[in-house]
Chains A and B, each alone.
Chain A
Amino acid sequence: MRLYFLALGTLLIVCVGCATDGQQVLKKNEYHAPPAEMLVRPGPMVGGPGPGVMLASAEMPAGPAGPIGPGGPGYSGGPYGYPGGEYCPEGPGPYGPPAAYAAPRTSQIRFLGPEGMSVGWQIGPGFAENQLMAPDRYNFPQAATYRLKFSHIPGREGLVVYPSLHVYPTHPTTAAYLEHNALPLRITDEDLDQVETNNFVTKVIYLPDAKYQELAIAGVEELVSTRLAPGLDPVSEADRRGTIMAVLRMGNMDLEMPGSAPPAHIGQGSSQPQSVQQTSHIVQVDGEMGQFVPPVPIGGTPSVLVPGVPADVMVGGPAGPGQPPYDPIVGVSGVPMYGYPTTGTPIGLAGPPHIPLGRPAGLKSHTMRNTTDFNVGKPVDHMLIDVRHEPGISMPDPAKYIQYTEKHPVYQQGEVSMPAFGG
């Protein structure tokens, strides 16, 4: 009898095991891809484009493609009372679906005041003066930092401020807003008082999350460092409350002191050491003379060890000085090939492509033989160098265990409500 049940159990296990795998037993027809935010990166803590995910604008044809996708080919008349409509684009046939969404690549900054204040900006080693007069607006390309110049401030003769304006890239939560709204930026008397008293002012313009909206009617909100409690970082606080769209940092540093070269970090090629600027190469641009030059982003500091404005995150956008490439393509125009580690192998070349997203690598052996005749003397087999710090180094024990868990919702058939237009 015992043998009978043992045989029956074995048969059951074999049959079930052949018909299903473990996943189907637990979660039938359920497969999980990493979140899109994770897929666009090569791996944890590593930036750059990832595999298998085309950028939103990658499907767009070449040329200026804005927030509103281009239409398809022409439509030759049509039903519903439009006998050859008055406006018919060229080309035969019906329209196809609209092109894929392309995020706006500029953010419109609206300088509200003080009214009459002149706004200039850095263009390479020099500044373009008086390009705007508040109130006015300008479309700044995103994902870049600009050095502005506020001058002719009413009531503050002689005061010139050189703030930096960091324009954040479009986020899915801010795309619609940036397509339809300008970001209001007003420099108040309080801000200027703080600057004149050697204080540093940070203004963060962000779109608050719904749960942080106090009123039914809401728009962008602004956090100013001088109005926060001591110790609070306005950028972190704004990031907690919503999505940041622009950050203005303002101090009283004079970047155009006579007789001194501009600091290295305000010019292009900020990684270069400070050097003498030839005045003949500095372009003088003044808006009052009808001259207009678009701002040139600053930044691009490649290392935290070099002072200056750090480079922005890699996003698609118009290529230009100090800007990332237009829709970076892996392996093209200096963009690193996806999956290639930067860690060198013993032969000085990049190692084999790793499997992304934390899967284990399969390489177990790597052999390279050099059969060249040589006579360069015997190598040193034992080298001894004594070094010593006084006092000695004493640091806390490093972390040896981190548990990081992300949970993502999973919806199966029957749990999703689709609108009529969504099929």
Chain B
Amino acid sequence: MRPIVLTITALLLSATAWSPAFAQNGYYYPYSHRQATGVNGRVSALTRPAIVHAIQPVRVSLPTEGRITFYAGSPDNAQVQSTPAQPGMVPGHVYRLRISDMPEFPGVELYPTIELLDRLHPPQGLAQEFPIPIEITEEEIEIALRDQMVTKVIYLEQPDLANPIQQVGGVLTEDVRPTANLLQVADMKGRPMAILRIGGRIPDRHSATDEFYSRSPLFWNRGP
């Protein structure tokens, strides 16, 4: 049975709700999608050290066509793939991508990040059949081009709380109010798996780029 994965999107991070907040059930929720990139992933890796031994397939796709470039250490280690691309990522780490050559956005390139929080537990030998789907939509790219930021939390739906509908046409995405804590909402509905952040910042041609690119490990499955 294929896991149902939903995403929750916040159209730009806002600041204050990052402060400690109570859930509706009265519990204090210490984590937030507004925390700096990598903080939640590091918490995941530190609290469950075994998780960093896993390699989780992640399927990244663009609206229609385009190229996705993955970086491992520096621009010199760029791995250019056509959409959809499915590398193996290590939970707890953050990955910087470049999306480009999209026919809907000629000349546009953006550099989103994927912060992998958790892993799936597929049947033995079928990991490639159950990747974490991360879909970058046309609307999200348009928002990023307006110097705004999109934060999307991808979570594994809890079967008891799942909507009794068939998942067609891609991953279901739900927009929430600006003050909501996406991780908290996703945690109430299932298990947060990854955070996708898209903005308009690109590498500065005058500055060193080492700060910009991720050094997280990548794995590609090219064999049978």
Interface on A for B, CB 8 Å cutoff?
64-72, 74-75, 78-83, 85-89, 94-101, 103-106, 108, 110, 137-139, 170, 172-184, 207-211, 213, 216-220, 242-243, 292, 294, 409, 411, 415-423
Q: Are B221 and A82 in contact (CB under 8 A)?
A: yes
A-B contact pairs, 17 of them (CB 8 A): A68-B38, A68-B96, A68-B216, A71-B72, A71-B216, A85-B220, A88-B219, A95-B53, A97-B46, A98-B42, A138-B204, A172-B36, A176-B35, A180-B37, A213-B14, A243-B15, A418-B30
CA distance A307 to B91 in the complex (A): 52
Identify A80's interface contact among B17, B57, B96, CB under 8 A: B57
CA distance A276 to B161 in the complex (A): 75
B84 at the interface (CB under 8 A from A): no
B-side contacts of A87, CB under 8 Å: 72, 77, 79, 217-220
Which chain B residues in 148-183 approach chain A with CB under 8 Å?
148-149, 151, 175, 177-179, 183
B-side contacts of A173, CB under 8 Å: 13, 15-16, 18, 34
Interface of A is mostly: loop
Q: Are B178 and A68 in contact (CB under 8 A)?
A: no
B108 at the interface (CB under 8 A from A): no
Identify A176's interface contact among B23, B49, B151, CB under 8 A: B151
CA distance A187 to B220 in the complex (A): 46
B117 at the interface (CB under 8 A from A): yes
**Apart from A70-B215, A138-B207, A210-B14, what 8 extra A-B contacts exist at CB < 8 Å?**
A86-B219, A97-B45, A217-B12, A416-B27, A419-B29, A421-B192, A422-B40, A423-B47
Q: Are A86 and B222 in contact (CB under 8 A)?
A: yes
Q: Are A67 and B211 in contact (CB under 8 A)?
A: yes
A-side contacts of B56, CB under 8 Å: 80
Q: Are A108 and B201 in contact (CB under 8 A)?
A: yes
B101 at the interface (CB under 8 A from A): no
Query: Interface centre among B25, B41, B88, by most A CB within 10 Å?
Result: B88
B-side contacts of A71, CB under 8 Å: 72-73, 90, 93, 215-217
B-side contacts of A88, CB under 8 Å: 217, 219
Q: Are B48 and A181 in contact (CB under 8 A)?
A: no
CA distance A101 to B38 in the complex (A): 6
Identify A420's interface contact among B54, B151, B192, B212, CB under 8 A: B192
Closest Cβ of chain B to A415, distance in Å, is 6
Q: Are B149 and A177 in contact (CB under 8 A)?
A: yes
Q: Are B55 and A85 in contact (CB under 8 A)?
A: yes
Q: Are B40 and A97 in contact (CB under 8 A)?
A: no
Query: Interface centre among A97, A101, A170, A207, by most B CB within 10 Å?
Result: A97
Identify A101's interface contact among B39, B146, B198, B199, CB under 8 A: B39
CA distance A82 to B94 in the complex (A): 20
With contact pairs A89-B73, A172-B36, A182-B201 given, residues A242 and B219 touching in the complex (Cβ less than 8 Å): no
Q: Are A176 and B13 in contact (CB under 8 A)?
A: yes
B-side contacts of A80, CB under 8 Å: 54-57, 88, 127-128
CA distance A300 to B45 in the complex (A): 41
CA distance A211 to B177 in the complex (A): 10
Query: Interface centre among B12, B34, B128, by most A CB within 10 Å?
Result: B12
Q: Are B28 and A409 in contact (CB under 8 A)?
A: yes
Identify B72's interface contact among A89, A99, A208, A216, CB under 8 A: A89
Q: Are B179 and A211 in contact (CB under 8 A)?
A: yes
B-side contacts of A181, CB under 8 Å: 144, 147-149, 199-201
CA distance A397 to B50 in the complex (A): 65
Q: Are B112 and A422 in contact (CB under 8 A)?
A: no
B206 at the interface (CB under 8 A from A): yes
A-side contacts of B13, CB under 8 Å: 173, 176-177, 207
